[in-house]
Amino acid sequence: MQFILGIISILLAEVVRDIYHIAGHYWQPIKQFHLLHHKAYRRDFSIANMETYKKSQLYNDVPEALCMVGLTAAIAILTQSPGMWLGCVYSFVFLVPAVLRSQGMLLATDLSHKPGDLVGIPALWRVNRTYHWRHHFDETNAYFAGHFTSVDRIIGTSLSLKGKVVAVTGASGALGQGLIEELSRQGAKVIAITTSPAAVFRAGTTTLAWELGAESELLSHLQEVDILIVNHGVNVYSDRSPASVYQSYEVNTFSTLRLTELFLSTITKSNDRATKELWINTSEAEVNPAFSPLYELSKRTLGDLVTLQRLDAACIIRKLVLGPFKSQLNPYGVMSASWVAMAIIFLAKRDFRDIIVTINPITYLLFPMKELFQSVYFRLFTKNAKISANLMSGNVVDRSTSKVN
């Protein structure tokens, strides 16, 4: 029991840290000191000015740690629970180095601000350097978490879309239109990528025409994109002719893979690991029947290959695992596309890497299990996750007749 109370006290200390951090952005008495913290670093987290750095430690990090120590100690005294003192001890581990850093000593203990290139992608549950870099240099009014990402996930600040350049394929479809509306409300700069030249989008949306099989022509545009949402698809329903097989796989699987590989090739700078993301609509057909066999098969293949890609991806890749919503592809859908779009953004801002939106409760159980076991299997029996370069040049369907929603 005391061990459990100790864990709770540590989590409480982290909540205090995050609340203090958030207050540092909005509460004037401490805001000026927190601004010193942001001024202390260059974009590679090297120290910009040693005096500013030491002041930021003394007037920002030390008071933050003191609040953690004080509140956890007060709770331990009030509850008379020995286990609650663990949070106080934990907080001292941050207080002592902060005091020493304010004197120019033990600078190597400032792990979240270790200088150098960003190595991995933003972590899911723990704040790593890439995650924290986004708070300093991407959007200062988001990514507040100090050690665990829980508070950001609860309040929806694990991802900021403000000012982001977001490109959406399948933009003329119902979900594409819904995503454009919701992304625009979040302050994103939206690019609608469509094969329908007559499609009309909301004011302020940039329209980009493309043809199936000509994905490479989008490369120059993708260089400037922060988030690519691959959302296009085709549903041939009951047709099982060879032409329908080729069309289903070309549109739902291979075209998507070419786009994802193209986008991943644009990740060339260190900070791209922090700012770029891929969202791929794989559908709940990954684990449940869609009563359209070729749609299921092509989407399931796509989902499996995306799982493989994620093992070594240089940026966050989110899967959109969506149930039946009303659209041109599925006029019998239960959910509205606008509601699904709103749910996708809500969950993305809370850093869900697998965004499940469906009315089927079985999917919420089956999909995480499938994804876990499959990723372990792929990791054990593969050596790299590169999709064959041949996919980049494949062209199975007649471009002149293929249109994608």
Task: Give DSSP secondary structure letters for 172-197.
Answer: TSHHHHHHHHHHHHTT-EEEEEES-T
Q: Whole-angstrom Cα distance, residue 328 to residue 203?
A: 23
Q: Please report how many Cα atoms fall inside a 13 Å half-sphere around the Cα of residue 311, on the Cβ side.
A: 22
pLDDT at residue 394, rounded to an integer? 46
Order of strands, edge to edge, in the sheet holding 354-357? 206-209, 189-194, 165-169, 227-230, 277-281, 316-322, 354-357
Query: Domain residue spans in the chain?
Result: 2-155, 165-393
Going by C-alpha positions, the residue among 210, 226, 229, 194 that lies closest to residue 328 is: 194
- Catalytic residue positions, numbered: 295
Residue 96 burial class via C-beta count within 10 angstroms: exposed 0-12, middle 13-18, buried 19 and up: middle
Threshold 0.85, pTM exceeds: yes
10-residue stretch averages of pLDDT, the chain, 405 residues long: 90 95 94 94 95 96 96 93 92 95 93 92 95 96 95 97 96 94 96 89 91 92 96 90 93 95 94 96 92 93 95 95 87 89 98 96 96 95 61 41 49
Q: Which CATH superfamily is domain 165-393 in?
A: NAD(P)-binding Rossmann-like Domain (3.40.50.720)
Cβ-contact 228, 259 below 8 angstroms: yes
**Structure-block tokens of residue 165:** 């350049």
Q: Please report how many Cα atoms fall inside a 13 Å half-sphere around the Cα of residue 38, on the Cβ side.
A: 17
> Taking CA 276 as the corner, what is the angle to CA 273 and CA 277, rounded to the nearest 5 degrees?
110
Q: Which secondary structure element, helix H or strand E, spans residue 132, and what is its range?
A: helix 129-137
Q: Helices 242-249 and 293-310, interaxial angle, to 10°?
A: 30
Q: Whole-angstrom Cα distance, residue 170 to residue 290?
A: 19
Beta-strand runs (E) in 197-353: 206-209, 227-230, 277-281, 316-322
Length of the chain: 405
Going by C-alpha positions, the residue among 380, 236, 222 that lies closest to residue 315 is: 222
pLDDT at residue 402, rounded to an integer? 45
Say how many C-beta atoms besides its own lie within 10 A of residue 11's C-beta.
14
pLDDT at residue 136, rounded to an integer? 96
**Gyration radius of the chain over CA positions:** 24
DSSP H helix total and E strand total for the chain: 16, 7
Going by C-alpha positions, the residue among 79, 89, 80 that lies closest to residue 10 is: 89
pLDDT at residue 404, rounded to an integer? 54
Q: Is 397 helix (H, G, I), strand (E, B) or coil?
A: coil
pLDDT at residue 400, rounded to an integer? 36
